[in-house]
Amino acid sequence: MNAYRREQPGSQPNLLSPAYGSTVKRAPSQPLVLLPNTISELTGPVYGHTKIAAVDGDLTRQHAGEPQGERIIVAGRVLDEDGRPVPNTLVEIWQCNAAGRYIHARDQHDAPLDPNFTGSGRVVTDENGNYSFTSIKPGAYPWRNHANAWRPAHIHFSLFGPSFVTRLVTQMYFEADPLIKYDPIFHTVTDPVAAQRMVAKFDLDITKPEWALGYRFDIVLRGRDATPMEA
């Protein structure tokens, strides 16, 4: 068996997971049709429309006031299949606020918005593949997939290589969250070892004294230890 395949059974989310209701409508029912990539797809984007500032990686300092909730630091490394760092990679995150509400027109959850929290950030990995975000721990929220359905706390991650077609997206969860075992999205990854690669671990070394708890979330792009990615 090739040790560096991402497609080992159960290690990546299943396109069709009936317990996750919307996949029944979204999963392909016919063979995929491959289309040739355009030049713009192969060569762009670089890092969005504006330069990345220090505040982009600190979601608690993007507004005039302090956001509500528990401050956290999420840090880690982006690695390839051999454990080598992947530098100069754009890492973006988006998340709900501490009450479980996104700033989005379609989010009608009966929870307050926070005027001091937008819920999105971006950074570029350094020469050693390191990244770090300061944020607020997201809250759980209902999502009507099934009876009494609640999504566990999670942060969405997007990683861009040199072009649109090298974008990877995943979700990060928090260890010991009791809602994880009930979450059909988490369980689209059926290999329990691979699924744990989506779970951030508490890290005292990342924790900033008297300021914020730290969590480590390393992202492996491919290979037998690859982080599960959304198709």
Q: Which is the catalytic residue, given 61, 63, 71, 156?
A: 156
Residue (of 183, 55, 212, 45) closest to 120 by Cα position = 55
Q: Is 156 one of the catalytic residues?
A: yes
Q: What is the CA radius of gyration of the chain?
A: 18
182 is annotated as an active-site residue = no
Strand partners, 213: 72
**What are the CA-CA distances from residue 213 to residues 39, 70, 202 (Å)?**
43, 8, 8
Hey, what's the torsion of the CAs at 91, 100, 229, 76, to 10 degrees? 40
Tell me which of 77, 101, 122, 154 is the catalytic residue: 154
Burial of 25 (0-12, 13-18, 19+ CB in 10 A): exposed
| Residue 37: alpha-carbon gap to chain centroid | 26
Catalytic residue among 20, 77, 101, 102: 102
| 141 is annotated as an active-site residue | yes
6, 101, 122, 151: which one is catalytic?
151
Q: Which of 20, 77, 131, 141 is catalytic?
A: 141
Q: Tell me which residues are annotated as active site.
A: 102, 141, 151, 154, 156
